[in-house]
Amino acid sequence: MAEILRMPHRRGIADNDARGQLFQDIICAYHIMDLLGQPSGMGSHLTARLPGADTFLFHVHNFGFGEVTPELVHEADFDLNVLTGDVAVNPTLHIHTRMYLARPDVTCIVHTHAKHVSALSAIGQNLEPVTQSACRLHDDCVFFDEDDGVALGLGPGETIARALGHRSALVLKNHGLLTVGKSIAEAVVLADCMETQAEIQLLAMAAGKLDLPTVEGRERTKEYLRSEKMVGRAWSFMMRRLARERPEVLEM
């Protein structure tokens, strides 16, 4: 029997409307990140690449994730030219454009100033696989301390993209987190993982020396939790919460 993911009902989008589905998913993602308590507004951003194009969706600069409605989501090219209206685009989004250019596999990028990841970064610590859930990012998270200023222009974006390489996550020193995914769901699930596991790691470090799972255990757990099936389950769980707490978003 096929697995039932129990996704909540949403406004209907045609199966062949990839742009419409991406547009709907990114609006849900903004509100899910807001429900998860990750700070947004001027400093945080979540974008999604348009299928088969060198353009991406973004939300208007200076609006929080929890404020996003369809009229606040626009399309820009990789030179940060807005293609769908006269709106403000975050000037630091070359972090995203350089990653999209370097990583054809990446569909979504999330950056927030999540509290516990920011605290961990401020003491010079990378995220460690302290629990099974944290093993999602085993050998897949980079500590970035090459530049701790505002990432304006192409240079900082290119530096961050090089630092990320083929991996999925960055702890940005004195700054926050960044995740990439081959889907919106994956990037959001990884961002949530980083913040929840950073809190656990800080608690564990305050209590004593970290005792990490074996490498074999980490690899086996990562393979399971990063599978398409398990990412789908985590995303559907988040979507059900969104349906309970902000049902109006699913009809946008």
pLDDT in tens, 141-159: 999 997 666 665 778 899 9
Is 9 inside any structural domain? no
CATH number, position 62? 3.40.225.10
d(CA 85, CA 218): 46
pLDDT of residue 41: 75
Question: Is 7 domain-assigned?
Answer: no
114 pLDDT above the threshold of 60: yes
Please provide the average confidence, as pLDDT, over all residues in the chain. 93
Model confidence pLDDT, tens digit, residues 47-93 = 999 988 999 999 999 899 999 999 999 999 999 999 998 998 999 99
For residue range 189-213, what is the model confidence (pLDDT) as tens digits?
A: 999 999 999 999 999 999 999 999 9
What is the C-alpha R_g of the chain? 18
Q: What is the mean pLDDT of residues 160-182?
A: 96
**Residue 4 confidence (pLDDT):** 52
The predicted structure's pLDDT at residue 1: 37
Residue with tokens 């509100």: 31
For residue 189, the enclosing domain spans: 18-241
Domains in the chain: how many in total?
A: 1
Q: What is the pLDDT of residues 30-40, one digit of tens each?
A: 999 999 999 77
Residue 248 placed within a domain: no
Tell whether 45 is covered by a domain. yes
Please answer whether residues 158 and 167 qualify as being in contact, where contact means their C-beta atoms are separated by less than 8 angstroms: no
CB atoms within 10 A of CB 31: 23
Q: Does 252 fall in a domain?
A: no
Q: 137 CB contacts (<8 Å, ≥6 apart)?
A: 127, 129, 168, 169, 190, 193, 194, 197, 222
In a domain, 47, yes or no: yes
Q: Is residue 13 part of a domain?
A: no
pLDDT tens column, 77-87 = 999 999 998 99
* Residue 12 lies inside a defined structural domain of this protein: no
For the beta carbon of residue 6, count every other beta carbon within 10 angstroms: 10
Rounded-to-integer distance, Cα 110 and Cα 181, Å: 9
